Amino acid sequence: MIKRTIHFGNPAYLSLANAQLVAEIKKGDERIVKTLPIEDIGVLILDHPQISITQGALSALIENNTAVISCNQQYMPVGMFLPLDGNVLQNERFRAQIDASEPLKKNLWQQTVQAKIRNQAALLQLQGVDNSPLKIWANEVKSGDTENHEARAAAWYWPRVFKQLNGFIRERSGSAPNAWLNYGYAILRAVVARSLAGSGLLTTLGIHHANKYNAYCLADDIMEPYRPYVDKIIIEMLNKHPLQNELNTDLKKDLLQIPAIDVSIDKEKSPLLVAVQRTTASLAKCFEGTQRKILYPEL
């Protein structure tokens, strides 16, 4: 069964009883009590300053490898809880990841950038937009992407991907739908980080990203080919929602479907949450030397 993404956007008290997450939700003068098996939850988003959670509930969620996301006063994700021991072979896999050679990491980054650009090209094609430069650049990516084809592709991609908008500029603090993208990417990042922990890998130690202040460098690497799937959802949202900077309930509801959308990986369709697990498992095998290719989805 596909793990569920649960979002709390109202004042709530979350506790644990009989392996169930018990949520006492306050809506005006009404108090609603709901329960959900801990084992069914893949991502939990705490999106209100008046949410309280017990230590028992939090530890049970983390033991279940649930990505618990905390949001700030602006209702944007700012933090995440993950397990310290997500895999029985964690020590062995940590060592393989730490000992990975530079040529291996550069090759893995080459594969990652190629997969990302090809998915960007596929999304432009679905939009009826010229994608020929991206198809060429994807094939020209060298080990380590030394010529920065990723940035070159982005410069072509972003002004064209949202046909509904005139010359869109991707800026984290820019106008809508930048905030929509930020929220969607935060959910995607949590899904990837959760799977990396489950595969026994260090989320901090990236193959390309290396910011010393970033605890999720590897998640930021591996999520790159999945970003166009979020972009595709944003395109669909632009067709049915007014353009606005504020993320209301309807917009978040659409973005919370990200872990459940169908993607094609290794010629098989599966929910994105499952596909990411296959990607991170293949990455662990690459570090161990038993596999040479990361399994990435094809849009």
22-to-4, 123, 219 alpha-carbon distances in Å = 15, 40, 30
Lowest-pLDDT choice from 72-86, 100-114, 144-158, 248-262: 72-86
In tens, the pLDDT along 168-227 reads: 889 888 888 999 999 999 989 988 988 898 888 988 899 998 887 787 899 999 999 999
Residue 170 falls in which region: left (phi positive, over 0), alpha (psi -120 to 50) or beta: beta
Beta bridge partners of 22: 15, 35
Percent of the chain exceeding pLDDT 90 equals 56
In tens, the pLDDT along 243-273 reads: 888 888 889 889 989 988 999 998 899 999 8
Consecutive H or E run containing 45: strand 41-46
pTM of the model: 0.87
In tens, the pLDDT along 25-69 reads: 877 778 889 999 999 998 888 988 899 999 999 999 988 888 888
- Residue 68 burial (CB < 10 Å; 0-12/13-18/19+)? buried
